[in-house]
């Protein structure tokens, strides 16, 4: 399995990584243009799925990036935003207990799973570019189980990075998504390759 540290080192080894991430961060907060940012993240997952070198690609092929970004955003919204919203709604009946942060406990498993789940959905979508592949929950669940919990610490690192970098929110979000989505996709690919070779993971 790849390590998050190694993925980050390779991803941000390029001297222009900061500029590329600034562009992504700016696009992320502009309505409609945010599809370009998601298209870039989509490209990172695609590179990892194909086994290409771990690196931040150049910004370009805007038309393709835009339409890829729409697909990535739809999957992100369905597998990420909606589950988080449902988990948040589940905390509302607990508010009257006045237990402080404990009322948010129902959100913990969802927060831990949505990142890898979204990437698993995009990963499957990219194989045939069909939305139904992205929402086959049995397949996605199998992908998450195959990691044997190895995505827990990287996900905690992702959450910690977001909290620590809160003042630079959009930049922090884009960098964290780029690193974590690349890592998740690389992990899924390695598991697939190991299974094809008959190796236990």
Cβ neighbours for 156, distance < 8 A, ≥ 6 positions apart: 112
From first CA to last CA, the distance across the chain in angstroms is 8
Per-domain residue ranges for the chain? 4-196
Six-digit token pair at 191? Answer: 């598991």
For residues 131 and 126, give the distance between their C-alpha atoms in angstroms, rounded to a whole number.
9
pLDDT tens digit sequence for 54-87: 899 999 889 999 999 999 999 999 999 999 999 8
Q: Does the pLDDT value for residue 4 go beyond 90? A: no
pLDDT tens digit sequence for 13-25: 988 999 999 999 9
């Amino acid at each position: 399995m790849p390590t998050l540290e190694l993925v980050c080192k390779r991803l941000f080894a390029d001297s222009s990584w900061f500029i590329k991430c600034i562009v992504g961060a700016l696009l992320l907060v502009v309505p409609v243009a945010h599809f370009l940012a998601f298209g870039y993240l989509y490209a990172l997952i695609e590179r990892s799925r194909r086994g290409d070198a771990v690196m931040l690609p150049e910004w370009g092929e805007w038309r393709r990036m835009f339409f890829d970004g729409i697909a990535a955003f739809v999957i992100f919204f369905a597998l990420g935003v909606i589950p988080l919203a449902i988990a948040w709604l589940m905390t509302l009946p607990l508010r009257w207990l006045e237990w402080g942060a404990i009322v948010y406990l129902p959100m913990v498993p969802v927060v831990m799973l949505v990142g890898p789940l979204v990437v698993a959905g995009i990963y499957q979508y990219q194989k045939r570019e069909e939305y139904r592949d992205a929402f086959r929950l049995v397949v996605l669940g199998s992908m998450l189980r195959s990691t044997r919990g190895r995505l827990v610490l990287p996900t905690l690192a992702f959450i910690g990075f977001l909290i620590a970098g809160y003042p630079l929110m959009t930049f922090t979000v884009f960098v964290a998504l780029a690193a974590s989505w690349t890592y998740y996709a690389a992990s899924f690919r390695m598991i697939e390759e190991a299974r094809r070779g008959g190796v236990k993971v």
